[in-house]
């Protein structure tokens, strides 16, 4: 059945390490998004992509990077430059509505 798959569910990052969060969708959506949720706060947009091989920065892109080589996939890399990476990361895709994956909880060791 169609949906958005995020992996892993939980991820731990050591200081100075880059980590990559996976997001795959089989909804045939052109547009994909990465949001971050911190406790007690709303979701904030990190990056988005409207089409393959193209992406734009959202409101909080510093310390993150993305790629969009395939329509189905939109991985997010949290680089060592992101000084406060602990958060719940949500991937989404949109046709006429915005659908979210189940999220990845990233924590720092």
Compute the distance between CA of residue 58 and CA of residue 17 in angstroms, rounded to an integer. Answer: 23
**2 lines the binding site for another protein (CB under 8 A):** no
Tokens standing for 38?
């911190």
CB of 16 to another protein, least distance (A): 27
**97 lines the binding site for another protein (CB under 8 A):** yes
Complex with another protein: residue 77 or 94, whichever CB lies closer: 94
**88 lines the binding site for another protein (CB under 8 A):** yes
**92 lines the binding site for another protein (CB under 8 A):** yes
Q: Which residue ranges make up the site for another protein (CB under 8 A)? A: 4, 6, 9, 31, 33, 35, 40-45, 48, 50, 56, 58, 88, 90, 92-94, 97-103, 105
């Amino acid at each position: 059945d169609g949906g958005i798959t995020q992996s892993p569910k939980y991820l731990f990052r050591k200081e100075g390490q880059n980590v990559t969060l996976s997001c795959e969708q089989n909804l045939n959506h052109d547009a994909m998004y990465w949001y971050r949720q911190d406790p007690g706060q709303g979701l904030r947009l990190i990056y988005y992509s409207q089409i393959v091989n193209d992406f734009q920065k959202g409101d909080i892109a510093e310390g993150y990077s993305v790629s969009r080589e395939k329509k189905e996939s939109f991985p997010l890399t949290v680089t060592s430059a992101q000084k406060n990476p602990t958060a719940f990361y949500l991937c989404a895709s949109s046709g006429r509505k915005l659908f979210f994956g189940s999220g990845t909880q990233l924590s720092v060791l």
